[in-house]
Structure 1
């Protein structure tokens, strides 16, 4: 019977991340956008997606920097209007965003990845925020997307 010899170890496989390393700056934003789109294929009509993305970006900016909170009084009640912003406007950017259905044709979520410098001076990228919306009808009978307050 021949002597058994241990099998050679399998060669190491390097797995390269589709996402850029933290701190890459704006150069990595397109890779984050592509990764989001690949992971979550589009399922909304283009006009709805555009409306939701614009609203989601505005909501995130208002939440993080304080700019524009009054426009979203249903999301930011008067008690939150005067809160000091948590992030500096000069060091805030949205790295990527997608809008997708959220369980039904009348619900959607805007998924945002963003970067910012907090009041303490700490810069962090790859932050994630989701804003949920429900399709409603305006007083004039036109459909629109209404952001849902955070719970």
Structure 2
């Protein structure tokens, strides 16, 4: 009969203890981060770097009533000063010729909305254009003898008739219903041969009372100060 070595029970006991310790260590082994908590899943970017899962991402910023806008909210209306500034900035450069006259007329109409009766406006524009031409070139001055006799600036024509052109004109009220001003932008060549466009002239008129019931009111030009 073979007799067992006296060391066999000791070896078995030692092996059992070692296996038990290893099993316990495996059960309670901390994660690689050292925090003792299981690591959450990660989403991988195409570049190879990873980002935390949604459970660890920062919460989305909420919109407050002060910063939230609706798509159907009306845009604020531009102020009259802004409209006038936009009209001035849209004017063509000097020397543009006939091509720029329409833009100047549109800018004047936008900056000063109409406030006269249509008949009065048309009459004033006709009178203003003719009066400016007579003042600048001398053509038709006999139509307003009193005006040119009292106007210190209408002594002698200073511009050639052939190179005179009214670029744009508007007629508007001048502070009262029976007073009006015709604002004109024009071009002309002076006696020295210099041609300049974008010249500005304001001509003032007052409504004259007819002398009889059959007569219609007319606009009379006022001498320049």
For the aligned residue pairs, the C-alpha RMSD in angstroms reads: 2.0
Aligned to 1:145: 219
Q: 1:79 to 1:26 in 2, by over 3 A?
A: closer
Task: With a CA cutoff of 8 Å and minimum separation of 6, indicate the structure with the bigger relative contact order.
Answer: 1
Q: CA deviation at 1:138?
A: 2.5
Q: TM-score, structure 1 length as denominator?
A: 0.84
Q: TM-score, structure 2 length as denominator?
A: 0.57
SS in 1 for 2:223: coil
Moved over 6 A (4+): none
Aligned length: 136
Q: CA deviation at 1:85?
A: 1.5
Instruction: Structure 2: state its 5+ residue gaps.
Output: 1-85
Q: C-alpha separation between the residues in 1 aligned to 2:155 and 2:117?
A: 36
Larger helix fraction of residues = 2
Aligned to 1:132: 204
Give 1 or 2 for the bigger CA radius of gyration: 2
Instruction: Structure 1: state its 5+ residue gaps.
Output: 1-14
Matched, 1:86 2:158: yes
Larger strand fraction of residues = 1
Q: CA deviation at 1:139?
A: 2.1
Q: C-alpha separation between the residues in 1 aligned to 2:178 and 2:151?
A: 29
